Amino acid sequence: MGALRKVLDFLYLAAGVLAALCLIAILVLIVVQMLARWTGEVFPGAPNYAGYAMAAASFFAFANALGRGAHIRVSILLNAVPRRIKWALEIWCFALGAAIAAYFTYYAYFFVYWSWKFNDISQGQDATALWIPQSVMVLGGGLLTIALLDNLVHLFLRGEHRINAETVGHGE
């Protein structure tokens, strides 16, 4: 079980690092596009690439943000009820969240598949095969599903979730 825990924690951290790198890529794309405009050159597709990087940053960050307590959790109710009811409500929340994330990932996969099957390309100057940036939805959604299930199983086995309260004033 310890090896699986290390692998999952590594995946969550790696996804967070990828999200940070995507944000840096957005910065670089914007600066390069500004320099290109100042010199009279054209950087075709830069806005599209920045958009792809923004989507990738969002989806890659989901699982890492969950583990770090950065997702919005309304804990006022959870802190006001007895421990046993809190445990049941958290199970319901993680189970529902995992089901929704799995549902999204399942249909995102087919979205990517059909984009690949029909060779769908972006309508911008970059003419990127859309299945490539869309694949990030499947990877990020799948990792979020795994993270939610990880917390659900941990809640069943240990009686508490694995979300760390790193934010100031989080209250958990």
Per-residue pLDDT tens digits for 158-172: 878 878 765 544 444
What was the pLDDT predicted at 159? 77
How does DSSP classify residue 124? S
Per-residue pLDDT tens digits for 28-59: 999 999 999 999 998 888 888 999 999 999 99
Residues 119/111, Cβ–Cβ less than 8 Å:
no
Per-residue pLDDT tens digits for 120-147: 998 877 888 999 999 999 999 999 999 9
Residues 36/42, Cβ–Cβ less than 8 Å:
yes
The answer for residues whose C-beta is within 8 angstroms of residue 61's C-beta and 6 or more apart is 15, 16, 19, 140
What was the pLDDT predicted at 120? 92
Q: Which residues of 56-80 are buried (b: 16+ CB within 10 A; e: fewer)?
A: bbbbbbbbbbbbbebeebeeeebee
